[in-house]
Structure 1
Amino acid sequence: MEFNIPGIVNAAIPTRQDRNRNVMIISSNSGGSYNDSGFLSSDFPHSPAKLYITAESDSFDAQTLRDWRDEGFNVEYLPLGDGGSAYAARLESLAKSNNLGPCQSYGIIAYGDAASFCLEHFHVVDNNPEFKLGCLVAYYPARIPDPRGKFPSPVRAIVHLAAKGEDSIDVVGHSQMLGIQGSRRVSRRRLDRGVGAGRALDMAYPAYRYDAEPGFAEHDLDEYDRVSAELAWSRSLAVVRRALMGYMDADASVVDQNTDGKFVTRNLSQTMGTYTAHRSPHVTYMPTLTGAIDSQELQRFYSEYFLNKNPPSTELTLVSRTVGSDRVVDELHVSFKHTQEMPWILPGLPPTNKRVEVMVVSIVTLKAGKICHEHVYWDQASVLMQVGLLDPKMIPQKASERGVKKLPIVGREAARRVLQGFEDEEDGEADNELIPGWYDDEEEEEEKDEQEGKKENTGKKTKLQEEKGKQPEKASVGPETRDEDGQAETIPERAKSEPKEVEA
């Protein structure tokens, strides 16, 4: 049995007769439908998902086109031309021109004026008659549809606004009566600041504000802004994958292969095989700025300064992993005994034979299933303290004059707290010992209790003192010593045996 879905919609809204009228979708069913790419089993044969990229010029940024093709999409460029009815007719013909199956859809990524046109066009339910448009990504449009109205199902839309110095934007709206929108009107509305560092906007469809100029996502333009472009790419890739491929997250197995090659097998071919060949990959260990750029330099760095420079005692424990559309973020507990020079974390430092434990965060960016770049962070002050190069008690004179008694750094206990937190909730918590005044109330109570205890014991003698006139021996406490790794430790108090007699 076949259902004419557009016919059902038209029957439900019989007065909707022309292209200048549309329905504002206040809510939509988020469940699966036959239009979803994941509706059938993943084993069902699919051709590469069709993706159209459209902008004003006759040609477009070759790097962006290549990036989308590398992700497995069948990419075609569609110029805006003069716009108007000819461009609208071309957009409406896309669903039929590709002979898409009943469970296949296509996507559009639009830039500039083409983005404005596509947003307004596909906000009208009539303009996606076969419901084949699965996603619409809009970069720096000058106009956006009514922020209160969702896009008709099954369109997943996302908007990237280049709002540097801009406090307002043109909004296309329609008069509405009984759910039916009428005449078109454009008004200027103020943009909100956005939420968080990512500047998410409060709209019915996902929208983000970037502190960049229009053109920030095109590599061949002077306005290209790498930070904004990469963040927008990650968000766009997640939407397009979910709409056309049925999944969003990247495959993190390549990161596991890379870590294994670097620290376990120490195999150069295995390590280098995880990096992309289509771009210039780079790795940066941020606290020391060690690493390499491009494949040739990376090969030299790993072969001469990394693979054979990690002590046999090196151990890695994965504590947590976060996987995004094109990024994998790992939180690792790393421990080693510094028995040889380690250029990536302690460059130029001879072995100290000290044991080090530190938490490391690795942020890996993937392109076409391979590693494009990796940024690695850790607390270098903690590492230097553990190998004996940084003494927290060595206070600069000015800081000492202000009452500072210790540098605000900690050693291996910081890394251990993370691991202990999974076994004992209290041991894994912060203790705020470095914050002056945090324990003032508790210390005052302890001092008060101690003073009261001393008063109660004043003038009292033990039975042994009364009988022999002797004084009890104080429990002996061992002196502060250092373990094999230079960490301070105190010999615990010895249990007392029978008190020894001492002359009065």
Structure 2
Amino acid sequence: MNVNLPLGDRIDLPKLVSSAIPEDRRKKGNTNVAILSDNWTSPTTGMNHNDPNFLSDSFPRDPPKLYITAESPSFDAQTLSDWAAEGFNVEYLPMGEDISEYKETLRTLHRKGLGPCQTFGIIAFGEAAAVCLEHYHVLDNNVEMKLGVLVGYYPSRIPDPATRFPSSVRVLVHLTVGEVGVVKQSQMVGIQGKKRVNRSNVDRGLGVGGTLGMGYRGYAYEVDAGFAERDLEEYDGICAELAWSRSLAVVTKALRPGGEDRENLVEISTHGKFYTRNAQQVMSNYAKDDAPHVTYVPTLTGATGTAALENFYSSRFLNSNPPSLQLTLLSRTVGVDRVVDEMYVSFKHTQEMPWILPSVPPTNKRVEIVLVSIVTLKGGKLHHEHVYWDQASVLVQVGLLDPKLLPQSAKDKGIERLPVIGKKAARQVFGCGNEEGEADNKLINMSESES
């Protein structure tokens, strides 16, 4: 035996499964025998043999199969295109009017051209989501554990939230606040009990994220069903983007190990902006087919569209930053479709800087701020960037805003100064103060708050 070969080259896993589970039983979908783990490489975690991480990253793989399914004969073309751009083999599966025929199609998806250790995913909308969630809540219906991930958007019914799905499938449900049917059905291996559907209220969830306390992952949105489909009147851009990020994270983790080097894409763009000052380098990783945009939020400067964005950086940004400008990365959070940077920025205002001090002549003042950049990616490309900082602090530091210079109306109310901090705030976060990032509350009238 050649011990240097990957495990997949030494063991014919599909043949092993076929030997353990006769073909006629697998076709009927009443399988009670399955491989649960590979004790050779992961004896503690019990990794499923269909898990993409079962084989090495260098093992050749086809693009992961992803079915989008809904009731209508056609579906929102942009959604299909977005998932395909992320590197998935996307196929639309209409539910149609015959539910029995649709369920039979679901039972056969595992046999449609999947290779060794390959799984597939389903993203279902509306009534199709209700059917898929109910169908795959039953262990026996995920034949050979080939379904790796199931995402449901605004289903009319969900399995009992107090229960869990089989561990072989990751499940995510996007619900809208209001009533939903709750399906309760006792089940044992190969045996289904009587089903009943009760009505239940979906609340707004925890915090501002709408997280629901369920046996499987779920989120609530205070909008109408249909909010994620651009071709419907109910479409809501903010909730759709939030749901997209959550869905992409779950689907990517289940079907595609590794993924794009999102951090490196951002680094290349940042290097072009502030170091090489090269517009081509800045734009090299921006999406070309979907209009990208960059907004420096406090001043609403930036541009939308590839040509306008390249012009903005060439004529308004790259050569406007003084040689003294320095960046220090304080923290970075890398998500499945965005990178968030917290940076300490310092410069001497020796030339006009349209992105941060538009139409302000050089003041020769030194400025220190903390800047936050949120970069969103789609299809392995930069899509948009929003940049934030404390503009009042900038104006104080260049002498355009005096915190102690107040209108008489403010003085009449006992206000002694504007609640604005200069460079000390950035220095405190950067670690130049006594304690890194700690507040001192000097702007608060402590005697009044304690009384």
Cα distance, 1:248 vs. partner?
A: 7.0
* 2:176 paired with 1:162: yes
CA distance in 2, matches of 1:395, 1:180: 77
Cα distance, 1:147 vs. partner?
A: 0.4
- After the TM superposition, which residues 182-193 of structure 1 pair with which residues of structure 2 at under 5 Å, given as runs? 182-193=193-204
More divergent stretch after superposition (219-228 vs 385-394): 219-228
Matched-pair contact (CA < 8 Å) for 1:420–1:427: yes
Matched-pair contact (CA < 8 Å) for 2:430–2:436: no
Instruction: Decide whether aligned partners of structure 1 residues 123 and 47 sit closer, same or farther in structure 2, where only a CA change above 3 A counts.
Output: same
Aligned partner letter, 2:75: F
- After the TM superposition, which residues 111-190 of structure 1 pair with which residues of structure 2 at under 5 Å, given as runs? 111-163=125-177, 166=178, 168-175=179-186, 182-190=193-201
More divergent stretch after superposition (341-350 vs 183-192): 183-192
Instruction: Decide whether aligned partners of structure 1 residues 425 and 145 sit closer, same or farther in structure 2, where only a CA change above 3 A counts.
Output: farther
CA distance in 2, matches of 1:218, 1:6: 43
Aligned partner letter, 1:84: I
* 2:375 paired with 1:364: yes
1:35 corresponds in structure 2 to: 50
CA distance in 2, matches of 1:223, 1:245: 31
1:390 corresponds in structure 2 to: 401
- Any stretches of 5+ residues in structure 1 without a counterpart? 12-16, 20-28, 445-504
Instruction: Decide whether aligned partners of structure 1 residues 324 and 83 sit closer, same or farther in structure 2, where only a CA change above 3 A counts.
Output: farther
CA distance in 1, matches of 2:369, 2:350: 16
Matched-pair contact (CA < 8 Å) for 1:258–1:271: yes
- Any stretches of 5+ residues in structure 2 without a counterpart? 1-10, 31-43
Cα distance, 1:31 vs. partner?
A: 4.8
CA distance in 2, matches of 1:429, 1:248: 37
Matched-pair contact (CA < 8 Å) for 2:139–2:189: no
1:346 corresponds in structure 2 to: 357
Cα distance, 1:162 vs. partner?
A: 2.5
Aligned partner letter, 1:227: I
Matched-pair contact (CA < 8 Å) for 1:145–1:171: yes
Q: Which has the larger radius of gyration?
A: 1
1:402 corresponds in structure 2 to: 413
1:262 corresponds in structure 2 to: 273
Aligned partner letter, 2:435: E
Matched-pair contact (CA < 8 Å) for 1:352–1:387: yes
Matched-pair contact (CA < 8 Å) for 1:36–1:246: no
Aligned partner letter, 2:442: E
Relative to the length of structure 2, the TM-score reads 0.88
Task: Report the 3-state secondary structure (helix = DSSP H, G, I; strand = E; otherwise coil) of the residue aligned with 2:411.
Answer: helix
- After the TM superposition, which residues 38-77 of structure 1 pair with which residues of structure 2 at under 5 Å, given as runs? 38-77=53-92
Cα distance, 1:192 vs. partner?
A: 3.0
Cα distance, 1:299 vs. partner?
A: 1.4
Determine which of 288, 295, 309 is the counterpart of 1:284. Answer: 295
Matched-pair contact (CA < 8 Å) for 1:432–1:438: no
2:37 corresponds in structure 1 to: none
* 2:446 paired with 1:431: no
- After the TM superposition, which residues 227-306 of structure 1 pair with which residues of structure 2 at under 5 Å, given as runs? 227-247=238-258, 251-306=262-317
Determine which of 354, 374, 377 is the counterpart of 2:388. Answer: 377
CA distance in 1, matches of 2:67, 2:449: 64
Instruction: Decide whether aligned partners of structure 1 residues 270 and 18 sit closer, same or farther in structure 2, where only a CA change above 3 A counts.
Output: closer
CA distance in 2, matches of 1:312, 1:327: 29
Over the aligned positions, Cα root-mean-square deviation in angstroms equals 2.5
CA distance in 1, matches of 2:107, 2:152: 17
2:6 corresponds in structure 1 to: none
Cα distance, 1:101 vs. partner?
A: 2.6
Matched-pair contact (CA < 8 Å) for 2:428–2:435: no
Query: Percent identity over the alignment?
Result: 58
Query: Size of the alignment, in residue pairs?
Result: 421
Cα distance, 1:331 vs. partner?
A: 0.3
More divergent stretch after superposition (293-302 vs 283-292): 293-302
CA distance in 2, matches of 1:68, 1:440: 53
Task: Report the 3-state secondary structure (helix = DSSP H, G, I; strand = E; otherwise coil) of the residue aligned with 1:218.
Answer: coil
Instruction: Decide whether aligned partners of structure 1 residues 282 and 177 sit closer, same or farther in structure 2, where only a CA change above 3 A counts.
Output: closer
* 2:332 paired with 1:321: yes
CA distance in 2, matches of 1:290, 1:222: 31
Matched-pair contact (CA < 8 Å) for 1:157–1:206: yes
CA distance in 2, matches of 1:252, 1:64: 25
